Amino acid sequence: MKTSGNTILITGGGSGIGRELALSFNALGNTVIVAGRHMETLQETIAGQRNMHAMTIDIDDPKAIAAFAKRVITEHPSLNLLINNAGIMRREDLSETRDLHDCEQTILTNLLGPIRLTNALTDHLINQPYATIVNVSSGLAFVPLSGTPTYNATKAAIHSYTVSLREQLKGRVELIELIPPAVQTELTPGQSTHEDYMPLNDFIQEVMAQFLLVPTPKEILVKRVDFLRWAERDGHFEQAVKILSTY
């Protein structure tokens, strides 16, 4: 992956990991487009920065995604790097029949959204130099947090989808999976101050150091996520499930 001179689209760029990735890649000499639902927060990300742009997108609406893809290609024809970062996390109680709104919304945003946006941009990306797609999954793709079952499932699906996409686009588009641990962001209420979670700045510094490696790893893993990523391989999967069940 080339780390400068790209035109990068980052979804969920109005806060948290998406915002910090956008600023970090911009500082390396990239043009960055941040996309999300709310222009106000996107404008906060790009305020005072050169070569940064903001565009709204409803990642849940397939027609809106298709229209957005056409617009972003028209306005930024050099687009060659997509970071699928937008996501939501909802707690769910599976012990009784319930309204499935949170479940369905999570699948729409975390799984169908990235699939649809990637699909809408594939024909463009395969013709661009140094084309790259970065999909953000989670350590919970490998060891589930019982209280967020659909979130875990969508991230496991993103991991699997990324593997398949990497094979099908081999030689034309580079596929990278970014696998965060629990990071201090506003993904869920109170998460940004949770003492057991990784500080956002520390996470970004470790991640960007790995993006700068040559060649870029297929999976971007900070040290704190290794316990989850390799739980099954290293024989502590059941222990990890029990530990996460306390959160």
Could you report the per-residue pLDDT of 120-145, keeping only the tens digit for each?
Answer: 999 999 999 999 999 999 999 999 99
Cis amide leading into 215 (omega within 30): yes
- What pLDDT does residue 196 have? 87
- What pLDDT does residue 189 have? 82
- What pLDDT does residue 82 have? 98
| Three-state secondary-structure class, residue 2 | coil
Distance between CA atoms of residues 118 and 91, nearest Å = 27
Within 10 A of 26 (CB to CB), how many other CB atoms are there? 20
Distance between CA atoms of residues 205 and 201, nearest Å = 6
- What pLDDT does residue 34 have? 98
- What pLDDT does residue 187 have? 87
- Residue 180 near residue 222 (C-beta atoms within 8 A): yes
Catalytic residues: 151
Give average pLDDT by consecutive 10-residue segment, the chain, 247 residues. 97 96 98 97 97 96 96 98 97 96 97 98 98 98 98 98 98 98 90 90 98 98 98 98 94
What is the C-alpha end-to-end distance of the chain, expressed in Å?
36
Q: Which domains does the chain have, with CATH numbers?
A: 7-244 (3.40.50.720)
HSE of 112, CA atoms in CB hemisphere, 13 A? 17
Structure-derived torsion over alpha carbons of residues 157, 158, 164, 170, reported in degrees to the nearest 10: 180
- What pLDDT does residue 188 have? 85
- What pLDDT does residue 192 have? 86
Report how far apart, in Å, the C-alpha atoms of 128 and of each of 30, 75, 131 are: 15, 15, 6
